[in-house]
Chain A
Amino acid sequence: MTPTWLRWMPAVAVPAVIAAGVLAGSVPASARDPLPGKTPAQVLAMIGQHTTKALSGTVEQTSELGLPDVPQVGPSSGPAAGSLAELLTGPHSARVYVDGPAKVRIQVMDRMAERDAVRQGNEVWLYNSKDNTATHLTLPGIASGKQDRGSRMPGSVATPEELAARMLEKVDVSTDVAVRGDVEVAGRAAYNLVLTPRSQGTLVESVAVAVDGENGLPLSVEVRARGQQEPAFRTAFSSLKLEAPDAAIFNFTPPPGASVKELALPSSGYAKRDLGQQGRETSGLGKDELGKLENDRKAPAAAGGAPSVTGTGWETVVGFPARANSAAAGAPSVDTLLNDPLLRQATVAVPGGRAISTSLLNVLLTDDGRMFVGSVPLERLQAAAAAR
């Protein structure tokens, strides 16, 4: 007769083995050879020169911006799927397929739903499975310059590649750039390029970009906010294959029964920006938070000089005039923002108007309809609003 304690052995051993396995799996594989040392400039050049044309992978995005979470309970697809702010809360995962600049497909995988953006040549389709709507638009001419980034599609989870390119535009005297210890992303060794704002007046603490040690492809972007333990925003490949995906993936015809909208593009030089804007309004998909960060550079040009800019570098504050005064299309207006139920919920009353406060970006909506945006504390926005 075996003693009783021996019979309970498996019940003790099995959890122990599982725990050991999990621990072993979570320890980063340090056996890998360290990457050859490189200066920040060299790593930057690697990004600039990377020639990765085809890839398929999964991108995981997490945000801790301090916006209210969207509860996802029960068998229905989330109530706010398709809302602009929804992409900024909670985790998201998207599959990305790229084959050259003109063949891109991004699938944002929601709970029991999916949002797709497919580009083949100059044809772009946006599809939302939740309400079974498809939006079609034709890009003007052959894409060139920045649009070659390919992943620059409206209303999708931004790929690491896209974000890194935008971030690195910011590299100047205002920012300390350094290469820290190697990291591993999606099983690949990568350089860790860290950008730290020299100014204390911004909400951004640091931006880290993981750059593939072999081919220079940005694999992850992580934005940290001051005084917050968790990264405020992180998007990273969780798996990556550097092979051309199946060509059939890029074929899209709207399914029968779907309501199809045709979207006309104004053939102006600001097409790209307008596309982002209209895509947001009509299809309900959103640019990400960092897209808004970018506004402080791009918005003045796009809206014909109407918005005002105060401050420099990381402390830039952009003011948008009230909608009535500005016929310029494309300027984000208070109305557009407040049409989004989640954002409306997130606004709080502050002296001089209402504010949407996140850990990376503050937006002040003044009582007279103006809007001030900046990656700075709210007081700076209020000061900028009062100055005029």
Chain B
Amino acid sequence: MSRSDQVSEHGSRTAKESGREGSVPRQRASSRSFLASELKQLFRRGRTQALLLALAAIPVMIAVVVRLSTAVPPGRGPAFLDRITQNGLFVGVTALIVAVPLFLPLTIGVVAGDTIAGEAGHGTLRYLLVAPAGRVRLLLVKYVGAVAFCVAAPLAVALAGAGIGAALFPVGPVTLLSGDVVQPGEALNRMLLIAAYQTVSLLGLSAIGLFLSTLTDVPVGAMAATIVLSVASQVLDQLPQLEWLHPWLFSHYWFGFADLLRQPIGWDSFTSNAMLQAGYIAVFGALAYGRFVSKDVLS
């Protein structure tokens, strides 16, 4: 779908809605179709697909390299790298670990930074805002779009990893960190849990990206700022002098998903992570609201 189609679709729909202010069910229905068209637009976009493909390439790269090289001594490289030859399912886990510090935040930064600023940069934002109540809804729809990408991105890594791992290596019972062994089905469940954990981990960053995106009409600026913040947060998390700050950094629990690979599963880090991300969503969502609702939209 071309960009101009999108504009006219959004534009005409919002224009029609403005005449039906009183009718709540209709408005709800149109919100749903607004969301559907936003998601369709996001995932049909070449850039989004390229990002997901790049993420899926990480496990493929790891698997091929491990397949072609000699055995890795245990304890070197990313965790679990040495286990891949024994069990293909570890490709997905290793790739997820590798993707956490940079690749996932990078792609989220691109998508979340583009939400509002992208429309403004294309001059399509004002068409989306014809309806008086449209701003809050647009913000929500845009955030849900970013969340959908947060779901898709780790999932792409995990599934590509499981696929390529099964293709190149034997698949069998998986040894957890605790030394206990689980069947491949359970292991796949755990991997999906890790993907879910990372989705949650990225929600706060998405909210930050959304807020930054309301500040500017230059999408690249918002994207870059979001990515820089994700790196800065991880750097701060390494400084022992700032220990008091660590539990408040949105990247603090990014590696906590190791608890999902223990037996029994430890949910503590999942809960702390979810609460922290909820806090970031609330704060930056409120900031984005304040900024976006009081903003003069000229483009």
Contact = CB atoms under 8 A, between A and B. Distances in A.
B175 A11 contact: no
Contact of A75 (B78, B264, B294): B78
Interface stretch (A165-173, A180-188, A252-260, A329-337): A252-260
B27 to A, nearest CB: 20
B181 A256 contact: yes
A129 B179 contact: yes
B34 interface: no
A219 B293 CA distance: 52
B279 interface: yes
Nearest to B94: A75
Interface in B219-275: 238, 240, 255, 258-259, 262-264, 266, 268
B185 interface: no
A367 interface: no
Contacts of B101: 74-75
A159 B98 CA distance: 34
A58 interface: yes
Nearest to B237: A73
A129 B175 CA distance: 9
Interface string B152-183: 00000000000000000000110101111100
A252 B176 CA distance: 12
A11 B287 contact: yes
Given A7-B290, A255-B180, A113 B79 contact: yes
B282 interface: yes
A24 interface: no
Interface residues of B, number: 41
A116 B179 contact: yes
A377 B277 CA distance: 47
Nearest to B279: A18
A134 interface: yes
Contacts of B123: none
B289 interface: yes
B54 interface: no
A7 B262 CA distance: 46
Contacts of B294: 4, 7-8
Contact of A131 (B74, B175, B178): B74
A71 interface: yes
A77 B75 contact: yes
A109 B264 CA distance: 12
Contacts of A113: 79, 177, 258
A249 B264 contact: yes
B6 interface: no
B97 interface: yes
B40 to A, nearest CB: 30
A257 B77 CA distance: 19
B283 A258 contact: no
B100 interface: yes
A75 B75 contact: no
Given A76-B77, A107-B178, A112 B289 contact: no
A90 B285 CA distance: 35
A246 B191 CA distance: 24
Interface string A8-30: 11110111001000000000000
A111 interface: yes
A165 B54 CA distance: 56
B299 interface: no
Contact of B79 (A58, A75, A258): A75
Contact of A95 (B181, B266, B290, B293): B266
B286 interface: yes
Interface in A335-368: none
Contacts of A294: none
A69 interface: yes
A292 interface: no
B255 A111 contact: yes
Interface string B75-88: 11111001100100
Contacts of A4: 294
A280 to B, nearest CB: 19
* Most interface-central of A11, A13, A15 (chain B CB within 10 A): A11
A320 interface: no
Given A15-B283, A77-B75, A8 B175 contact: no
Nearest to A251: B180
Contacts of A69: 240
Interface in A92-141: 95, 107, 109, 111-114, 116, 125, 127, 129-132, 134
A76 B79 CA distance: 5
B62 to A, nearest CB: 12
Contact of A18 (B178, B258, B262, B282): B282
A149 to B, nearest CB: 23
A298 B15 CA distance: 85
A370 B238 CA distance: 38
A367 B181 CA distance: 49
Given A18-B279, A129-B179, A109 B290 contact: no
Residue of B97, B98, B178 with most chain A CB atoms under a 10 A cut-off: B178
Contacts of A114: 177-179, 258, 262
Contacts of B181: 253, 255-256
A113 B80 CA distance: 9
5 contacts: A111-B255, A114-B178, A125-B179, A249-B264, A255-B181
Interface of A: 4, 7-11, 13-15, 18, 58, 69, 71, 73-77, 95, 107, 109, 111-114, 116, 125, 127, 129-132, 134, 239, 246, 249, 252-258
